[in-house]
Amino acid sequence: MAMKSDIQIAREASKKPIQEIGEKLGIPSDELLPYGHDKAKVSQKFINQVRGNKDGKLILVTSINPTPAGEGKSTTTVGLVDGLNRIGKKAAVCIREASLGPNFGMKGGAAGGGYAQVVPMDDMNLHFTGDFHAITSAHNLLAAMIDNHIYWGNSLEIDTRRVTWRRVIDMNDRALRQITASLGGVSNGFPREAGFDITVASEVMAILCLANDLKDLQERLGAMIVAYRRDKSPVYARDIKADGAMTVLLKDAMQPNLVQTLENNPAFVHGGPFANIAHGCNSVIATTTALKLADYVVTEAGFGADLGAEKFMDIKCRKAGLHPAVVVLVATVRAMKMNGGLGKNELDHEDVEAVKKGCPNLGRHIENVKSFGVPVVVALNHFVHDTEAEIQAVKDYVKTMGAEAIVSKHWAQGGEGAVDLATRVAEVADEDPGNFSPIYPDDMGLFQKIETIAKRIYRADEVLADQKIRNQLKEWEEQGYGNLPICMAKTQYSFTTDPNRRGAPTGFGVPVREVRLSAGAGFVVVICGEIMTMPGLPSVPSAVNIKLDANGDIEGLS
């Protein structure tokens, strides 16, 4: 029988009213702010009330260096929660919201796949509860206020060539990457170069996801650098006096969204920062709230473990005082083969040697995660073409690395297929000795922090950076930003900065092209390689095939 598409399965889900899902976590129905019947925000009042509760166990799902199709991190996150609930545990999902733009390009949403999904999928991939629109509005309000400030006399003496605050829209639109703004004469202001990023790349998004509460949100928004003067001194959002109004626009968006898995288990879907120039995890407020309400909270970090898990631990956990009890490292036989040198079209036949050749990639990630003091369980996300011999090869290898690989069939079978994985993960989480620590201290120099990540996680020999970049880092240290963590932006396909070098390469350097200060979010972005903050659409975008059918249902959405 042919497998149904993700959207077909999602549409056939028997969803429960959102109040029943809230009830599973002890959220009274009047503390849920419903958006229709199957989505709700959890009230700020309730979040404040449960702050004193004991925390459940935090479980992070991450992966090996992925193949272009993705390895099934979201699918495994959802399947694991359904598996945990099947074995009688009170577990909840915490994942990111999907960006609207990419849905109409190539890659669709982020709600899992097969029989391990979060629903309502269509809504989550479209406007959902409007959080991203609120972020777009808050971001662009600040942009409008900056140009308005310049128009009315520029008392802050902003150098119009050095306005760093761009505009955002939640759409893939390459035509907007670089624009000239304020054309058309005296009444339209002072012409200057500007541009757009996609909403998920906004610093406002990163801030919403890292803020502990509304007060913290406003302080961080105020601390964002928006421009420089001729003497290169920074101008902050609070100098423009935009932080108060931006917080008002974001007030509702700060409340986490509750939806459900196909098996009617609770899922918090909230926030969605880019995983390169930002930290790529769902919001701190959703994670901390979920931990107060469930015994096990399964969350996900974007990209492979070298980027996603590292940032989760060194940025999110450090800042929010969180500590993962166990990391679930998702691997697939297919990705092992690709890391072992096979091409995209050579994955559907048995090749045990290629699997073995690719395993050192997995091995390095296992070692890396352990170096944070957190135990690892490998989830082998099962694909139909995987053979017994290939699976055994991965299991044997993982054993030599002092961990255990468990085959999981949640994509095809839902929670039932993830019972083995869930059982082991719960055991390991319960035994958590609590040894977690980030891999560098706050007070290490910024360049030394970059070196620590490059050498200990990527296994590079050195970090290559011009004097200009080193001086910039020194300057930020002198200005009081030296205690910030690092947010690496590099390819997710390799430990190196070259996406074609798969496996576990050695003997390479990490060239740093640029550094940026996200003073409000609270990290220094280190850019290694090409980073796109406004994607384009492919020659035939998926939008061409998206339409409503005769019943008014959406066709063509992932």
Q: Which residues are annotated as a binding site for ATP?
A: 67-74
Our CB check for ligand ADP shows the closer of 65 and 136 to be 65
Q: Which of residues 44-63 bind ligand ADP (CB under 6 A)?
A: 63
174 SS3 class:
helix
Q: Which residue has the tokens 């990490």?
A: 510
Our CB check for ligand ADP shows the closer of 141 and 412 to be 412
CB of 382 to ligand ADP, least distance (A): 5
Query: Which is the catalytic residue, given 39, 41, 57, 73?
Result: 73
Beta-bridge partners for 236 = 225
Which residues have CB under 8 Å from 200's CB, separation 6+?
99, 132, 170, 272, 273, 274, 278
Q: Which of residues 6-25 bind ligand ADP (CB under 6 A)?
A: 6
For residue 275, indicate whether it is catalytic.
yes
Query: Which is the catalytic residue, given 104, 372, 411, 523?
Result: 411
Given CA atoms 159, 164, 165, 169 in this order, what sign does their dihedral have?
Answer: positive
Report the distance separating Cα 284 and Cα 212, nearest Å. Answer: 7
Q: Considering all CA atoms of the chain, what is the largest pairwise distance in Å, rounded to the nearest integer? A: 73
Report the distance separating Cα 426 and Cα 90, nearest Å. Answer: 11
For residue 383, indicate whether it is catalytic.
yes
CB of 265 to ligand ADP, least distance (A): 17
Q: Which residue is nearest to ligand ADP (CB)?
A: 113
DSSP 455: I
Report the distance separating Cα 503 and Cα 495, nearest Å. Answer: 8
Which of residues 337, 382, 459, 490 is near ligand ADP by CB under 6 A?
382
Beta-bridge partners for 327 = 60, 376
For residue 96, indicate whether it is catalytic.
yes
Q: Where are the alpha helices (DSSP H) in 263-387?
A: 284-293, 310-311, 318-320, 333-339, 352-370
Our CB check for ligand ADP shows the closer of 383 and 476 to be 383
Using CB under 6 A as the binding criterion, the count of chain residues that bind ligand ADP stands at: 18
For residue 502, indicate whether it is catalytic.
no
Q: Which of residues 408-427 bind ligand ADP (CB under 6 A)?
A: 411
DSSP string, 43-61: PHHHHHHGGGSPP-EEEEE
DSSP string, 104-117: TSS---SSEETTEE
CB of 290 to ligand ADP, least distance (A): 19
Report the distance separating Cα 83 and Cα 69, nearest Å. Answer: 24
CB of 103 to ligand ADP, least distance (A): 13
Residue 308 touching ligand ADP (CB under 6 A):
no
399: left (phi over 0), alpha (psi -120 to 50) or beta: alpha
Binding region: 67-74
How far apart are the two ends of the chain, measured CA to CA in Å? 21
For residue 107, indicate whether it is catalytic.
yes
Query: Which is the catalytic residue, given 275, 301, 379, 519?
Result: 275
DSSP string, 474-502: HHHIIIIITTPPEEEE--SS-SSS-TT--
CB of 217 to ligand ADP, least distance (A): 27
Our CB check for ligand ADP shows the closer of 121 and 446 to be 121
Query: Which is the catalytic residue, given 39, 41, 46, 75?
Result: 75
List the x/- string, 384-413, binding to ligand ADP by CB under 6 A: ---------------------------x--
CB of 320 to ligand ADP, least distance (A): 22
Beta-bridge partners for 281 = 301
Q: Which of residues 83-122 bind ligand ADP (CB under 6 A)?
A: 110, 112-114
For residue 73, indicate whether it is catalytic.
yes
DSSP string, 154-166: -TT-EEEEEE---
CB of 115 to ligand ADP, least distance (A): 10
Q: Which of residues 67-86 bind ligand ADP (CB under 6 A)?
A: 69-75
Q: Mind telling me the catalytic residues?
A: 73, 75, 96, 107, 275, 303, 383, 411
Residues that bind ligand ADP (CB under 6 A): 6, 63, 66, 69-75, 110, 112-114, 381-383, 411
